[in-house]
Structure 1
Amino acid sequence: VEEELKATLVTELFRKIPDTIVHKYACHVWQKVFEIRWNSPPAVMTYVNAALVGQWHQVALDETGSLVVQNIFENCSEQEKRPVVMEVLEHVVAIAKGQWGNWVIQHVLENGIPSDRAKVLQAVMDEAVQMSLDQFSSKVVEKALRIGGVEVMGKIIQKLSISQPSRPRIPLVDVASDQYGNYIVQYILNNSSDEQREVCARLIRRHMVSLRGSKYGQKVAFMVEKFAQDGAIPSEHDVHRQRRKSSVRY
């Protein structure tokens, strides 16, 4: 198909951008548009950004819209996609909680430029507790733990370990007892440094009765006990013995 005809077809799409970009079938046409390698490119993203300014976070939450946003991330120039990225970064937590939006945030974590990834990681670290308890944003937390290294792991552990005035126990235990959060705690225990794992285990042990009585928390309790049996962390006996030694006065 001649480029001039393609440009004419694209121009027709400009008339209904908000409706077609999230349409079940039309979204696939838009994805093809973004993938075209033009010799004389029409200002596609200029029109698209103008039509959807202030709406990109809603597009990212839509089943088909999320695919379009990821397609823009992959196929448009940095200048063209920057307005989309900036709006997504302003709504990281809300988008991450979406069934489809979480994939958009994960895409930024995996493929975004360092400064964009850093903003997402910061949002995850700041809101680690609420995000870990959500079905979809918990996937983003796990992705952040995977790519963020020891520093991000440490900051998320710290966030989960800070007690709240309104709660008698630390968030780590609430997350460990949660349907989705328990996978986050299991990931931390499996992939953290020896020192980080020991800190988490020590905090978790204080609530073993509660965790053993929880459908999801018992998985975490079992893991802590298994690590102790295997020598990956000090056993409760070792901890008590160390406490007795430290309490001896000479």
Structure 2
Amino acid sequence: MDGQVLQCVKDQNGNHVVQKVIEKVEPPRLQFIIDSFITDKADSVCSLAKHPYGCRVIQRVLEHCSEEQKRPVLEHLHSNIDDLVLDQYGNYVIQHVIEHGSPSDRDRIVDAIKGDVLKHAQHKFASNVIEKCLTHGICLL
């Protein structure tokens, strides 16, 4: 798979293989997957987070990889919160961080969106992020 990760992640069937590899293989052996997301010059983390299959793979990374592996992925996500919250698939990744992420990662998301709660609450995709915050008892005021 090394060298073909992004192609597999964006494939209707290949993404399931990558997800299963992430779920079943110990994190140290998954570094080549993380590297393929981070070293791409086109900001693959955010483009994958906005992809119908890539968003699922990013969520598996956040669930199963080590903190050291997740941190660069999270940093890319944090630097693009405004764009991802409004995206059809990116909003799922942000919701996933709210539900499963560390308190500091949740706080960074809340800090980024709390100034535009009304705008986000009225948006087709961003409203899902607002709802996730509220269902998890996160104050947006």
Query: Normalised by the shorter chain, which TM-score bucket?
Result: 0.7 to 0.9
Equivalent-residue separation in structure 1 for 2:51 and 2:108 (angstroms): 22
Q: TM-score, normalised by structure 2?
A: 0.87
Residue 130 of structure 2 corresponds to which residue in structure 1?
141
Residue 20 of structure 1 corresponds to which residue in structure 2?
8
Q: TM-score, normalised by structure 1?
A: 0.51
Residue 77 of structure 1 corresponds to which residue in structure 2?
66
Aligned to 1:63, what secondary structure does the other structure show?
coil
1:64 equivalent in alignment to 2:53: yes
1:47 equivalent in alignment to 2:35: yes
| Greater relative contact order (Cα < 8 A, sep 6+) | 2
Q: How many residues align?
A: 140
For the pair shown, the structure with the greater C-alpha radius of gyration is 1
Change in 2 beyond 3 A, CA 1:42/1:137:
closer
1:129 equivalent in alignment to 2:118: yes
Equivalent-residue separation in structure 1 for 2:56 and 2:124 (angstroms): 20
Residue 220 of structure 1 corresponds to which residue in structure 2?
none
Aligned to 1:14, what secondary structure does the other structure show?
coil
Identity %: 29
Aligned-residue RMSD, C-alpha: 2.1
Residue 81 of structure 2 corresponds to which residue in structure 1?
92
Gaps of 5+ in 1: 1-12, 156-250
Q: Deviations over 1:66-105 (max 9, x none)?
A: 1000010011001011111111111112111122211111
Equivalent-residue separation in structure 2 for 1:18 and 1:45 (angstroms): 9
Query: What amino acid is the match of 1:122?
Result: D
Q: Deviations over 1:143-169 (max 9, x none)?
A: 1123244xx24x1xxxxxxxxxxxxxx
Residue 21 of structure 2 corresponds to which residue in structure 1?
33
Task: Tell me, yes or no, if the aligned pair for 1:102 and 1:140 is still in contact at 8 Å.
Answer: yes
Q: How does 1:125-204 map to 2 (within 5 A)?
A: 125-149=114-138, 152-153=139-140, 155=141
Equivalent-residue separation in structure 2 for 1:38 and 1:143 (angstroms): 30
